[in-house]
Amino acid sequence: MATSLVEQPILKMSAPDLRGDLDLTVEETRRLLELAIDLKRNASAYATALQGRSLSLLFEKPSLRTRLTFELAIQQLGGYAVSSIGMIGDREPLKDVARNLDRWTQGIVARVFSQETIEGLAQWSRVPVINALSDLYHPCQALADVQTVLERFGHFEGLKLAYIGDGNNMAHSLLLTAGRLGMHVAIAAPNGYGPNPDVLSAAANAGVQYTLTSDPAEAANGAHVVYTDVWASMGQETEAEERKRVFAGFQVDDVLMAQTARNAIFLHCLPAKRGQEVTDSVMESAQSAIFDQAENRLHAQKALLLMLLR
């Protein structure tokens, strides 16, 4: 029988918040993944690890996976969550919202339109703030993604991750998380839709090996992981038709997957627009690990909560 890590000291994050991927060091990320895998195998051993702790969930954007997995994560660790949907700071200043919540709950999870909102919450709150998605980063999703890669391959070094599509928050977090763990990240995006230059600079300073191209086939060639996201994210609805035209050659299909490594897997942060950024045949193929990936949101976030709140 596997031995649980629950009786061992859990590494405390050096940063007080998870505002973005760089708030976790490489060693902390590796320890978090080790803990997440143990939580997945031995969930009952952690059932009271955060007993009596509470978590505020603030959502400016609708959510299926993020909201449910954070609610379940804190509940399965013995705590509970309270949630609110709406524009943060609309009715009262952000600094007042943060200083109310830190009197009542032991952590704040926020899914927001702007990274500035995350930074403001972290500035004014005395309890940990977790970025559950902003326009710049999606660190919790990236943690689940690399957990899925680790489960499939057993290592990161020497693996190539091909990201096909918009150089958005998901591309940023994969660069900073998968890249710092030792994967080569190849991003194929149309000209003018690449990653934020400041994020690319941060990745380079962190030693990330990456390739930028406008050719999906070049990125996918020999890749062990192929990743894509929707072409128009929430808040970009007015650009949807134009983006369909621009990204028309960036669909992940069977032809593109045939250029990858023999044991390659396909990942998508979901929800997917089947028939746009990815075909239904790829989503339903034996190479698709999208539901393992979605499940791992729960386990990776449980590990994160333990490292921040325990």
Is residue 297 within 8 Å of 141, Cβ to Cβ?
Answer: yes
Instruction: Band the pLDDT of 297: cuts 50, 70, 90.
Output: very high
Per-domain residue ranges of the chain: 21-137+296-309, 141-293
> How far is residue 64 from each of residues 67, 93, 294, measured CA to CA in Å?
6, 27, 10
Is residue 166 within 8 Å of 15, Cβ to Cβ?
Answer: no
Q: What's the pLDDT at 2?
A: 47
Which residues, including other chains, have CB under 8 Å from residue 26's CB and lie 6 or more apart? 180, 181
Over range 231-246, report the average pLDDT.
88
CATH of 141-293, one of 3.40.1180.10, 3.50.50.60, 3.40.50.1370, 3.30.70.141: 3.40.50.1370
* CA dist., res. 228 & res. 163, Å (int): 6
pTM: 0.96
pLDDT digits over 120-169, tens only? Answer: 999 999 999 999 999 999 999 999 999 999 999 999 999 999 999 999 99
pLDDT digits over 51-109, tens only? Answer: 999 999 999 988 999 999 999 999 999 999 998 878 888 889 999 999 999 999 999 99
Point out the residues that are catalytic: 111, 138, 141, 229, 269, 297
Mean pLDDT of the chain: 95
Q: What's the pLDDT at 1?
A: 41
Strand pairing category for 54-59 and 108-111: parallel
Fold matches, 21-137+296-309 and 141-293:
yes
Say whether domain 21-137+296-309 belongs to CATH 3.30.450.40.
Answer: no
pLDDT at 237 over 90: no
* CA dist., res. 186 & res. 209, Å (int): 9
Which residues, including other chains, have CB under 8 Å from residue 65's CB and lie 6 or more apart? 270, 294, 297
pLDDT digits over 183-202, tens only? Answer: 999 999 999 999 999 999 99
Q: What are all long-range contacts of 149-152, with beta carbons under 8 Å and residues at least 24 apart?
A: 149/178, 149/183, 149/224, 149/225, 149/265, 150/33, 150/37, 151/37, 151/292, 151/296, 152/265, 152/289
